[in-house]
Each structure stands twice: as structure tokens, then as C-alpha cells.
Amino acid sequence: MVKVAPPKKRVETPSSVKAVVDKIASTPSLQLSTVFPPFVWIFGKGDIQHWIVVLNHFDDFFAAHVAPRVQLELKRSPALGHPHGGPFPSDACLWILRATAVILDNCSNKQLYGSTEHLSSLLASEQIEVAVAALYVLASATRRAPGARSNRFHSDHKLRARLLALCSGLGDTARQGDGGGSSAGGGGGGDASPPTLVLGMSVGGGGAGRKGIGISASDDAGAVHFEFYSPRGADEVLGDLGPSGSRVISASNLHLDGLSDHATTEQLASEYKVPADLRFSLFARVRLAKLGATPEGASTAAQIRLLAFCILLQSEGGSGGASGGGGPNGADDTLGLVFLTEPQPEFVAELLRVLRAEGEGLPSAVVELSLRVLAALAGDRSHQSGVITVMRSGGHPAVFSALVASAVSRLTAAPSPPVGAELAAAGLPKLELDAINAEADAPVPLAEALVSLLSTLVTTHGGCQTLRDVSLLPVLLPLLRNRNARHVHIVSHAVHVLEIFMDYTSSASAAFRELGGLELVVERLKQEAEDALAEHATTHGSGGSNGGGGVGG
């Protein structure tokens, strides 16, 4: 396994970062989740070279506890009994994966990250939470800066094949959602509105302001349909595969079989003689089918599909290089490759339906990932024009405008935790401060995804026209009043979007002045200058500052 190599040229690590790096690296990896609270970022813009020691410490954990587990390669026969090494240390693994995602989200030089082979293996983890966390790390590693055409992230054949398998069903859910609503319960009163079908979920409906998600009645619960070609020969686990030819697996109600995803896959693979190189494709169908049989599971399945699609789209070469590094596994994966490389207006419309249903009880993670996928599509050459065309039609600008206004309102309404001298004077108990920080952070993921999409759109002519349709200035300007220390990065990105947008059109500059934007900027600069002077006076008078840590709230 390739670790992160130290830089040839010495890179100076800030003292506050080094203190946290040393603390994490000196802690045994199996104890990280018990010694430290969830990892949070408090360092400003970072460089992954500052965190090489930590990332290599994490890689040692993967080498010891992930690489030896052959069941993650789906090559273990049921007759072999308990997998390698006893119970998997999922708590430690989750802490490491989530900390890694935070580091990658906040650092440059992400292309140096070298543990993707282990992440690829974890996509087959028996614990769904671990598999999803691995996808989030890959999404962070592949995320491009707005306007960038490349991120120098290369995925190997194994990873691309697994991601394609996890995308399975995206095209089906888009076509299903385009067909209108379908009530899972049937009947209903005259005032009951039909639910909206998005990404395999039934959202809202039922009248009386009902919110929440269900599952589509048009789907066979827990059903798998898998077509594949089996070559003639022998398999190391199954033995003789029988005669060559096309085969079809059709099974339903898999969520009722009482077996784990691995056990169900092994059972079907043994019965239908599925070759080793197609076994993860079958496993992905089994997992997604079982998840899709419950409302909560359907939400997780939607997140898995969206994450896998976004990672593939943003890997080196984008949609244009999707066929590189080996072909897909199975007929359904071939369809997934076509879905990735060709414009998909139905899928874009499906993502916009997610935004429309945002206030109907749809999980925020699904909305956030839909925005991330829209940003990735809008930044991809083969999809860009199609995305913008759909976004400018069918009332979508109004939906997008309402979402921006809602996100700004939530950020503004969130509590502002005390910092610096205010924090010392407040003397708040840690539990109370953690609660305030958590409430302040709650609207951040959605706002970050939204600003990412805005930052991508504003770099193109068509995108700026879309933002003009959205009436961007009136809905985004109130964000300049937000002084919350935990929202500074969002405000900074929003200001950058406004700068580019006003460069695009002189009418936007005039509107900015008419709406009081100039006064807002001047007032904010004045307040920030006063804060900086006060902080300097405080630290100068006390002879220094307390460094603080990077682990914990």
C-alpha cells in the first residue's frame, strides 16, 4: 500500500496543527474513538502535507485491520466460518474515516492521499455505516475546486467497478420519479395530495401537512434482478462454473431472509455460479435492494448511489474517462457507464425534485448530496449545458431561489457561539458550549453544498444566466450580516461568488448598490477591523494566546 510520502522540500507545520498531529499519532489507532471526541477543523485553510504523520498512522490501521479481511473481497466461502481477526473494530474505523474526510475537505494537495485501495475494500463492509463513511472520504478526496477541470485523483479498476455497481438503479429512480406520484397506501381522502417520488423514496403526500418519507409501492420490496455473463471455467470458491452463457438472477423479499448482505450474496453466488469478478456487483444489488425495502434504508440507498456517482464523475478524466481502467461488471453496470457518460436530463430533473421536496421531510443528507451532484454535473463538460438548460426551465429557478433564501435564513438564525475574550468571560460549561456549537453547525453542510453549486455555476456564461434567473443578489446579500465565527468560510465563498457575478454583468453591480450591498460590506469591514484590533490588544496585553486543539468541539 502506498502511503503519503513526505515532501522533498521541508514544509513548516503551524504549532497548533503540530500539537494535534502529535497527539493523534501517539495514540494507538484502536483507542482513537475512545480517547478523542469527533474531529473538527479549527485551523483555517490547511495543507495535507501537515497531516502526513496522521494519515500514515491511519493507513497502518487499514493495513492491520482491513487488508487481511478476505471477506471484503467477497472471496470467502460460507464454509470457512468466522472471518479473519475476530470482530471488526468499527468504532475506531468510523472515527478514522470521518477524521480523514474532515482533513481532506479542508486541505490542499489532496492528490497525495494514498489509502484509496483500503477504502475500496471497505465498500464491501458488513457495517453499512462504515461503507458510507468510506464513500464520504472518497467524495472529499475527489471534490474539485469550482471551475477546475481536474483534481489529479485517479481511481483504479477495482474502485471504478465497485462505484459503478453502487450507482445501479439511479436511472431507474429518475424515470420512476418522472412518472408522477404513487401512493403506497392506496385510497386516501379528497384533500390528500399524492406523494412525490424521488430517488426511490415517497416524500410527503397524505394531506394535512404530512411530512416524511416512505417507499414507492411500484417497487418490489427487496427485489434483485441481475443479468450477467458467466465464462466457462473454475472459480477458487465455487469450483466448476458450468457452461458459459448469459444468466439472470431474479429474487424478491430479500430483506426478509434473515441473512446479512454478505450471506445473501454468497447464497445467490453459489446457486447461480457467479464468478468472483462479478460478486461485488451482485453484493451491491443485494445491499441496495434490502435497504430500499424500508423508508430509512431507502434514504441510505439514495446516499450511496449519489456518493458513488459523484465520485466517479469527479475522478480524473471525469465522465470522459469513465471507460478507462477496465470495463464494468455485468449488463447493469454497462448501463451505469452509459448513464455516467451521456447527458441525463431526467436525472437532473430528479435532483431538482429533491430540492423542491426539501421541506417535506426529506433527509438533509440526501438534499446536500443532490446539490453536490448538481455541482459536479455543472462542472463537467459533457453534462454542463444539459444541467443549465434543465435548471432554467419548469419553475426550477424559483425552487432554487427559495432554497438559497432558506439556507441563508437558517444560518442567520443559528446561535453564535462566543469566541476569544467573550468565551473566557462567559465561562460556559463544556456540555452547554458543545450544544451551542452543534446548533450553530447544523445548517452548515447544506449551505456548504449550496455555495459549492453557486461557485461552479458562476464560472460559466450559462451558469451566470441561471443565477440571474434565480435573482441571486437579493437572496444572498443577507448572508453578509452573518458574523458567526463557525460560518466564516461560507460567507467568504459567498462573497467570492458575488464578486464574479458582478464582474459578469454591470446590471448586477448596480443592483448590488441599490440593495445596500456596499453599505453591508463597509459595515462588515469596519466590524472585522475593530475585532482584529481588540484581539490584538488582548493577546498583546496577556503576552500570547492559548493555542487550542483541533480535536473536539
Nearest-Å Rg of the Cα atoms of the chain is 25
With beta carbons less than 8 A apart as the criterion, state whether 286 and 224 touch. Answer: yes
Place of cell 475527489: 142
The region that residue 329 occupies, defined by phi over 0 for left and psi between -120 and 50 for alpha, beta otherwise, is: beta
Q: How confident is the model at residue 57 (pLDDT cuts 50, 70, 90)?
A: very high
379 SS3 class? coil
Specify the higher pLDDT residue, 207 or 465. Answer: 465
Angle at which helices 488-504 and 506-514 pack, to 10 degrees? 130
Q: What is the pLDDT of residues 301-351, one digit of tens each?
A: 999 999 999 999 888 644 544 433 344 545 555 555 666 777 678 889 999
Q: What pLDDT shows up at residue 183?
A: 35
End-to-end Cα, the chain, rounded Å: 33
Instruction: Assess whether pLDDT exceeds 60 at residue 84.
Output: no
For the record, the C-alpha cell of 189 comes out as 381522502
Q: Which of 90-104, 127-141, 201-215 has the lowest mean pLDDT?
A: 201-215
Q: How confident is the model at residue 550 (pLDDT cuts 50, 70, 90)?
A: very low
Q: Which of 48-52, 339-343, 379-383, 392-396 has the lowest mean pLDDT?
A: 339-343
Q: Report how far residue 411's alpha carbon sits from residue 444's, in angstroms, rounded to the nearest whole number.
A: 7
Q: How confident is the model at residue 552 (pLDDT cuts 50, 70, 90)?
A: very low
Q: How confident is the model at residue 96 (pLDDT cuts 50, 70, 90)?
A: very high
Q: Which helix (H) or strand (E) holds 525?
A: helix 517-542
CA 452 to chain centre: 12
Mean pLDDT: which of 22-36, 160-174, 247-261 is highest?
22-36
Q: Report how far residue 488's alpha carbon sits from residue 281's, in angstroms, rounded to the nearest whole number.
A: 42
CA 100 vs CA 54, 112, 358: distances in Å: 9, 13, 29
Nearest alpha-carbon partner for 210 in 226, 235, 191, 231: 191
551 SS3 class? strand
Pairing status of strand 107-108 against strand 46-47: parallel
Nearest alpha-carbon partner for 288 in 225, 353, 198: 225
Q: Which of 76-80, 113-117, 297-301, 438-442 has the lowest mean pLDDT?
A: 76-80
Q: How confident is the model at residue 79 (pLDDT cuts 50, 70, 90)?
A: very low
Residues 164-170: what's their mean pLDDT? 87
Q: Which of 323-332, 379-388, 415-424, 459-468 has the lowest mean pLDDT?
A: 323-332
Q: Count each helix (H run) and each strand (E run) in the chain, helices first.
A: 24, 9
The pTM of this model reads 0.86
Instruction: Assess whether pLDDT exceeds 70 at residue 146.
Output: no
Total number of residues shown for the chain: 553
Q: What is the pLDDT of residues 8-22, one digit of tens each?
A: 677 788 898 999 999
DSSP class of residue 39 equals B
Q: Own/partner pairs for 428-433, CB < 8 Å, 24+ apart?
A: 430/553, 433/553
Q: Which helix (H) or strand (E) holds 46?
A: strand 46-47
Q: Which of 18-22, 45-49, 223-227, 355-359 has the lowest mean pLDDT?
A: 355-359
Q: Report how far residue 168's alpha carbon sits from residue 172's, in angstroms, rounded to the nearest whole number.
A: 8
Q: Report how far residue 497's alpha carbon sits from residue 452's, in angstroms, rounded to the nearest whole number.
A: 10
Q: What pLDDT shows up at residue 64?
A: 94
To the nearest whole number, what is the mean pLDDT of the chain?
82
Q: What pLDDT shows up at residue 181?
A: 43
CA 301 to chain centre: 13
Q: What is the pLDDT of residues 475-526, one digit of tens each?
A: 999 999 998 888 988 998 899 999 999 998 888 889 999 999 999 999 988 9
Q: What pLDDT shows up at residue 519?
A: 92
What whole-number percentage of the chain has pLDDT above 90?
Answer: 44
Q: What is the pLDDT of residues 233-260, one digit of tens each?
A: 777 777 777 788 889 999 988 988 889 9
Angle at which helices 279-291 and 295-314 pack, to 10 degrees? 140
Q: What pLDDT shows up at residue 78?
A: 44
